[in-house]
C-alpha cells in the first residue's frame, strides 16, 4: 500500500483512488436515481448490480477468497461516499459486511471457503439479526431459541425483527438462545449461519420453517427492505454454528458484540456521509436563494449555520477514521467506536436539520433532496445501538480505563 501523499489529506494513494471512484459512482449513478427509488420504495436493483461489478461487496474480504482485502479504514471511506449518495445503498452492504467480518474472524476454514467467495462477488448477500419484537437494546433478553433435535441439526424457533436485507439475503447471522440456564446470561447464546433462499417469503425444502413477512413500512431508509423473520421449526445443521459446534456453541454473544464494534464504525461513516451531503446542499442553496436583496449565504446567521455544520462534519470524520485506524492496528477501540457512532450519527441529524432550515419552505417539498435526507438521518440514531446505548458504552469503558 502506498504511503499517504500528504499528512493533511490522510489518505493513501490507494484510498484516494478508490474513494474517488466511489464518489464518481455516487454522483453519476446513485444521486440522480435515489429520489425515484426512495419515492417508490423500490429496491435499487440496477445500482446494486453495478456495485457488484465494482467489487463493493468484497471490500474487506481477503484476496484469497476473491475480495479486495482492504482494511476497515478504507471501507469506512467507501461507506461515507456511498452514504453521501443515499444511506439505503450503504444499508445493502452494511449487514453483508458484518456477516463477512464474523466469518473472517470466527468462521471455520470450511465456512470461509463455502461462503466468502460468493459473498465477495455479491452473488449471495448476508443479513445480521439480533433484534426481536420485544427487544433491541437489551440483547440478552433474546427469546428465539435453538435446541439440538438429532445428532446433526438444531431446531430454531422464535421471531426476529428489523432484519435489514431480510428478504433478499441468502445467509442470516442470527443470535439465538441455546442455554436458557446459563449464568451469566450472555454465555447462553449462539450465532447460527441460517441459510435461506434469497427473495423468497416462504422457504421450502432444506430451508422450510423460515418465513419472511411483508417488509416493514418505514419513515425513510426506503428501497432496502427491513423485515421480520419467523423461525418455526427451522433446522440448521450443527456445522452452521459460527466457528463450528465445538468452538462456537454458546459463544455467540461475544462474537456479535465484537462485530457491533466494526458495525458502529460503519454507521459512523454513514453519519459522516449524510452530514457531508446536507452541507453540500446547504452551501449551494444558500448561494442561490436571495432574501432582502442578497444571497442568504451573506446573512451572518446562515454563515454560522454553515460553519457549525462543516465543523461537525470534519469532527465526525476524524472520530470515525480514528476508530477505524485503531481497529486496523489491532487495538481495542470499543470506546472510540462508540464515540464515533454517537457523534457522527448526531452530526448527521444536526446537519440535515440545519440544511432543511436553510432551504426554508422548499426543504419541506419532495422536489428537494434534503427532504429525503431529513427522513433518512434518524435511522442512524437507532441502528447498531441508540445514542443512549452509545453513551452507556462510552461511560462504562471510560470508567474501566480510568479505574482508581
Ligand X SMILES: Cc1cc2nc3c(=O)[nH]c(=O)nc-3n(C[C@H](O)[C@H](O)[C@H](O)COP(=O)(O)OP(=O)(O)OC[C@H]3O[C@@H](n4cnc5c(N)ncnc54)[C@H](O)[C@@H]3O)c2cc1C
Catalytically active residues, by annotation: 384
CB of 378 to ligand X, least distance (A): 9
C-beta closer to ligand X: residue 22 or 393? 393
In the complex with ligand X, which residue's Cβ is closer, 123 or 388? 388
Q: How far is the CB of 395 from ligand X (least distance, A)?
A: 11
Closest distance of CB 402 from ligand X, Å: 22
Residues engaged in binding ligand X (CB under 6 A): 95, 128-131, 135-138, 162-164, 218, 221, 226, 379, 382-383, 385-386, 388-389
Report, in Å, the least distance between residue 346 CB and ligand X. Answer: 13
Shortest Å, Cβ 64 to ligand X: 28
Distance separating alpha carbons of residues 83 and 345, to the nearest angstrom: 12
Question: Before 7, cis peptide (omega within 30)?
Answer: no
Residue 94 to residues 100, 174, 223, 260: CA-CA distances in angstroms?
10, 15, 14, 11
65 neighbors 116 (Cβ within 8 angstroms): yes
Among 170, 142, 164, 169, residue whose Cα is nearest residue 215: 164
Contact yes or no for 321/383 (Cβ under 8 A):
no
Q: Which is nearer to ligand X, 161 or 279 (CB)?
A: 161
CB of 404 to ligand X, least distance (A): 25
- The cell numbers describing 238, all together, are 450443527
Task: Report long-range pairs for 185-188 (Cβ below 8 Å, ≥24 apart).
Answer: 185/140, 186/140, 186/253, 186/254, 187/250, 187/253, 188/250
Using the CB atoms, write b or e for 125-157: b if 16+ within 10 Å: bbbbbbbbeeebeebeebebbbeeeeeebbbbb
CB of 65 or CB of 162, closer to ligand X: 162
Closest to ligand X by CB, 83 vs 108, is 83
**Helix, strand, coil content of the chain in percent (nearest 5):** 60, 15, 30
Q: Which is nearer to ligand X, 66 or 385 (CB)?
A: 385
Residue 182: CB atoms within 10 A of its CB come to: 15
Output the residue with the shortest Cβ distance to ligand X.
Answer: 136
Amino acid at each position: 500500500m502506498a504511503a499517504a501523499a500528504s499528512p493533511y489529506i490522510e489518505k493513501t494513494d490507494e484510498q484516494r483512488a478508490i474513494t474517488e471512484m466511489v464518489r464518481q459512482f455516487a454522483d453519476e449513478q446513485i444521486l440522480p436515481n435515489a429520489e425515484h427509488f426512495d419515492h417508490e420504495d423500490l429496491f435499487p436493483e440496477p445500482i446494486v448490480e453495478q456495485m457488484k461489478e465494482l467489487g463493493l461487496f468484497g471490500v474487506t474480504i481477503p484476496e484469497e477468497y476473491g475480495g479486495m482485502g482492504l482494511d476497515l479504514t478504507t471501507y469506512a471511506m467507501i461507506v461515507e461516499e456511498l452514504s453521501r449518495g443515499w444511506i439505503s445503498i450503504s444499508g445493502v452492504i452494511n449487514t453483508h459486511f458484518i456477516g463477512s467480518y464474523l466469518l473472517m474472524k470466527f468462521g471455520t476454514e470450511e465456512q470461509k471457503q463455502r461462503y466468502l467467495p460468493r459473498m465477495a462477488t455479491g452473488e449471495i448477500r448476508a443479513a445480521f439479526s439480533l433484534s426481536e419484537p420485544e427487544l433491541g437494546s437489551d440483547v440478552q433478553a433474546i427469546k428465539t431459541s435453538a435446541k439440538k433435535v438429532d445428532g446433526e441439526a438444531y431446531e430454531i424457533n422464535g421471531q426476529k425483527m428489523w432484519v435489514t436485507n431480510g428478504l433478499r439475503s441468502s445467509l442470516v447471522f442470527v443470535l439465538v438462545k441455546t442455554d436458557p440456564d446459563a449464568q451469566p446470561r450472555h454465555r447462553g447464546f449462539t450465532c447460527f449461519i441460517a441459510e435461506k433462499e434469497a427473495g423468497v417469503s416462504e422457504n421450502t425444502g432444506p430451508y422450510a420453517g423460515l418465513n419472511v413477512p411483508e417488509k416493514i413500512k418505514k419513515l425513510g431508509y426506503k428501497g432496502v427492505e427491513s423485515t421480520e423473520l419467523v423461525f418455526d421449526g427451522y433446522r440448521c445443521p450443527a456445522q452452521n454454528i459460527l466457528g463450528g459446534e465445538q468452538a462456537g456453541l454458546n459463544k455467540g454473544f461475544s462474537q456479535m458484540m465484537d462485530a457491533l464494534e466494526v458495525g458502529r464504525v460503519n454507521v459512523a461513516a454513514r453519519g459522516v456521509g449524510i452530514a457531508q451531503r446536507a452541507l453540500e446542499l446547504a452551501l449551494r442553496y444558500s448561494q442561490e436563494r436571495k432574501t432582502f436583496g442578497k444571497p442568504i449565504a451573506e446573512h451572518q446567521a446562515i454563515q454560522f449555520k454553515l460553519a457549525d455544520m462543516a465543523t461537525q462534519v470534519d469532527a465526525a470524520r476524524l472520530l470515525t477514521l480514528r476508530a477505524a485506524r485503531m481497529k486496523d492496528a489491532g487495538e481495542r477501540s470499543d470506546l472510540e467506536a462508540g464515540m464515533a457512532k454517537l457523534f457522527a450519527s448526531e452530526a448527521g441529524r444536526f446537519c440535515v436539520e440545519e440544511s432543511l432550515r436553510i432551504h426554508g419552505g422548499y426543504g419541506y417539498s419532495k422536489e428537494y433532496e434534503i427532504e429525503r435526507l431529513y427522513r433518512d438521518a434518524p435511522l442512524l440514531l437507532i441502528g447498531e445501538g441508540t445514542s443512549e446505548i452509545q453513551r452507556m458504552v462510552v461511560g462504562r469503558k471510560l470508567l474501566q480505563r480510568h479505574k482508581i
